[in-house]
Structure 1
């Protein structure tokens, strides 16, 4: 994703309007596809729909947060609601293409919060720093 952001940014900074447009739309489409594909994949997985996926992730030694994993284990309903929230958010990310300012800002804001949450809860900082630079390009493209 970081390579896609870098290439898209270089194109967007070009003097050529066509290359600018290609860079912005490529980045926007890539970000939307990343979310939608992830959401649909989660929707197809019983573990995500039941909430077990978040419990499983958060209880792992490498990517989890033991306290959060224990909280999800004690209250699986929270994990299920959060899992469905993630599925709904990711699967519906294509709505940004409506170009309606409140929708674009809401999805980009939630996306950034999602990446910050993943970075801290799973210790995947590179995830945040690979996706976050895409948000200004997408906002510029759609608004």
Structure 2
């Protein structure tokens, strides 16, 4: 969770104890948005020194925890934090207001599908209707939103 990650980074910065975590290879951040400043501090304090990989995971409430993943490069200064690419058995598309798939970098709505996306809300058909969308894509009807 990024709020706890921030506390962790501040502790390392205040104590300069990077050697205490020299065997740490991966940190996975999920649950809330990461800030670019924290990513950049991590790369400077820990990532470059210990070769520890920071991975950003993203997933909405309607999915089983995470649906995209992004591995940060230690040598890049980030101005924005990417959510990455879909994980296995997941599809992610940017759709316009007419539900047409848009190209990379074009604004739109992120729509996600796959086995890890809910079929609906228990005993809440109105919420299911509001948050679900069936699109015809690549010869298949696929649930998205």
Shared fold per TM-score greater than 0.5: no
- Which one has a bigger Cα radius of gyration? 2
Which of the two has greater helix per residue? 1
Q: TM-score normalized by structure 2?
A: 0.28
Return the structure number with greater relative CO, CA threshold 8 A, min gap 6: 1
Answer 1 or 2: which has greater strand percent. Answer: 2
TM-score, normalised via structure 1 length: 0.28
